[in-house]
Amino acid sequence: MAQASKSASPNDRIQFAIIGIGMQGSGLLPNAISLPGATCVAAADLYEGRHTLAKQITGNPNLPTTRHYQEVLDRKDIDCIIAAVPDHWHMRVVVDACNAGKDIYCEKPMSHTIPQGFEMAHAAERNNRIVQIGSQRVSSVLCRKAREMYHDGVIGDIEMVELSLGRNSPTGAWEYPPPFDASPETIDWDTWLNDAPKIPFDKYRFARWRCWREYGTGVAGDLMVHLLSGMLYTLGWNEPPRSASALGGIFRWKDGRNMPDLHTVLFDYHGIPVYVRLSLAGETPELARFIGPKGILDTSGTYIRYTPQTGADDGPSYYASSFPREMRDQYREQWHREHDPVPGHEPTADDTTYEGHDWDDVKPHLWTFFQSVKSRQPVAEDAVFGNHAAIACHMANESYFRKQTVYFDAEAKSIKA
Ligand SMILES: NC(=O)c1ccc[n+]([C@@H]2O[C@H](COP(=O)([O-])OP(=O)(O)OC[C@H]3O[C@@H](n4cnc5c(N)ncnc54)[C@H](O)[C@@H]3O)[C@@H](O)[C@H]2O)c1
């Protein structure tokens, strides 16, 4: 078992290594080194071009780089790891890091399969490690505000949640341009494949791995996991759904992928319906909508809008149009007498909008992680939370592929039909 050290650094500084400096890692790295006290002292990637990139981002031409991440895990002067490798590598990197006594910020979705998530949570607990999963909105001011508002009771007890997001462009649909020099010489392809079936080098799979189930987790693990993590945090839930019922297909991007580009899911969270709509075939705004008896809380990238509802009649019932005239007049007169506001006290529409910092900014989430590495206080999006969010994504995919509702068997820690 690894020692539960406070920090390997002699002072309050954080020395970290990054594993995976691709699209997301190249965004995490500059943000991480911009935080006070944080220094990147090593970078690991299977592709040579990203060694160069890590040196360029850190401005350190002598930054130690390697294809073998175990080398950075073996270094005693490294406090923690930031990992932005494809989904099919998350489990091995997190378990190896925890076993090596390193705290780790690992990208979302936490796992590639359900058993992996439990193995990762177990490794974190066994080694007393801080593990933070990378759905960054959980550390945003907007998410915190939404959580406060919900717990202040602004919408009452939650009755339903709607989560939606749509894109409509090749990049939005993961058709990324492979690096010009991608080849078996510049990339350790055999290692990259990990536990996926062995196939000859394919630069498209290297760049567009999200399109295939062998490496990625589809729109569920790529996009829905953010919406679900935000929802779990806002509502103060920390659990997998009881069931998932999905429908979708490959509507637009018939490029050889095996993951759906349109995915709708209805989850049952202890009796609360959570409806999710994700599309790579039609652009719609990103929205998490929380509906309760006292109103609606809409949250999106940079705002929260609260629309209160009284639930009371705002006019005589239209059913009364079916009454004979005298009865109808009598009903209306009585309604107005009982409901009309006192003059001067007419109600005003009081929607409230909070504008905030972009909840996709990774900096607050990295900051939260570094603080926890130092303080040993738990993070909100730890391995247990991350596992719960990821399980929902795996259930959404299982339901889509099996074409039936799937249930989570908490005792067996597995999905059943
Ligand atoms: N939080 C977010 O908003 C967000 C956004 C984008 C991606 N992500 C997540 O970040 C992760 C990475 O995605 P990406 O788009 O950057 O992928 P990418 O393919 O662009 O980069 C991944 C990098 O990891 C390297 N790699 C793979 N296996 C490795 C190993 N065993 N050792 C060392 N390096 C290895 C690859 O060579 C590649 O350079 C994914 O889990 C993805 O879901 C999160």
Over residues 101-138, the pLDDT tens digits come to 999 999 999 999 999 999 999 999 999 999 999 999 99
- How distant is the alpha carbon of residue 67 from its chain centre? 28
pLDDT of residue 261: 98
Sheet holding 406-409, edge to edge: 352-355, 303-308, 295-300, 284-292, 160-166, 272-279, 262-269, 243-249, 406-409, 414-416
Q: Is 386 in the pocket of ligand 1 (CB under 6 A)?
A: no
Per-residue tokens: 397: 């995919």
Q: Is 222 in the pocket of ligand 1 (CB under 6 A)?
A: yes
Q: Is 203 in the pocket of ligand 1 (CB under 6 A)?
A: no
pLDDT of residue 170: 98
Share of the chain above pLDDT 90, in %: 94
- How distant is the alpha carbon of residue 373 from its chain centre? 21
pLDDT of residue 347: 83
For residue 304, what are the CA distances in angstroms to 134, 141, 300, 365?
22, 11, 6, 19
pLDDT surpassing 50 at residue 29: yes
Which atom from ligand 1 is nearest to the alpha carbon of 209?
A: 19
CA 35/CA 13 separation, integer angstroms: 10
Decide if 17 contacts 78 (C-beta within 8 A): yes
pLDDT surpassing 50 at residue 232: yes
Tell me which amino acid residue 41 is: V
pLDDT of residue 213: 98
pLDDT of residue 157: 97
Which atom from ligand 1 is nearest to the alpha carbon of 187?
A: 37
Question: What integer is the mean pLDDT of 89-107?
Answer: 98
Contacts for 233-237 with beta carbons within 8 Å, 24 or more apart?
Answer: 233/137, 233/138, 233/143, 233/147, 233/380, 233/381, 233/385, 234/143, 234/146, 234/147, 234/150, 234/288, 234/290, 234/299, 235/147, 235/150, 235/158, 235/161, 235/290, 236/147, 236/150, 236/151, 237/269
Over residues 49-67, the pLDDT tens digits come to 999 999 999 999 999 999 9
Per-residue pLDDT band for 11 (boundaries 50, 70, 90) equals: low
Distance 147 CA to ligand 1 centre (A): 30
pLDDT surpassing 70 at residue 7: no
Tell me which amino acid residue 101 is: G
Q: Strand pairing partners for 38?
A: 14
Over residues 278-319, the pLDDT tens digits come to 999 999 999 999 999 999 999 999 999 999 998 988 899 999
Lowest-confidence pick of 3-7, 187-191, 232-236, 348-352: 3-7
pLDDT surpassing 50 at residue 9: no
pLDDT surpassing 50 at residue 328: yes
pLDDT of residue 411: 96
Which atom from ligand 1 is nearest to the alpha carbon of 192?
A: 28
Distance 295 CA to ligand 1 centre (A): 39
pLDDT surpassing 90 at residue 36: yes
Question: What integer is the mean pLDDT of 4-25?
Answer: 78
Q: Which helix (H) or strand (E) holds 68?
A: none
Decide if 393 contacts 163 (C-beta within 8 A): no
List of domains in the chain: 1-140+177-240+362-417 (3.40.50.720)
Q: Which of 87, 139, 97 is nearest to 385 (CA)?
A: 139
pLDDT surpassing 80 at residue 335: yes
Per-residue pLDDT band for 6 (boundaries 50, 70, 90) equals: very low
Decide if 341 contacts 347 (C-beta within 8 A): yes
Q: Is 174 in the pocket of ligand 1 (CB under 6 A)?
A: no
pLDDT of residue 3: 40
For residue 335, what are the CA distances in angstroms to 66, 312, 314, 331?
77, 12, 10, 6
Question: What integer is the mean pLDDT of 265-280?
Answer: 98
pLDDT surpassing 60 at residue 17: yes
Q: Where are the alpha helices (DSSP H) in 6-138?
A: 25-33, 48-58, 69-73, 90-99, 114-126
Q: Which of 390, 146, 162, 172 is nearest to 287 (CA)?
A: 162
**Kindly report the CA angle at 360 between 306 and 164, in degrees rounded to 5?**
55
Q: Is 24 in the pocket of ligand 1 (CB under 6 A)?
A: yes
Distance 186 CA to ligand 1 centre (A): 17
Q: Is 23 in the pocket of ligand 1 (CB under 6 A)?
A: yes
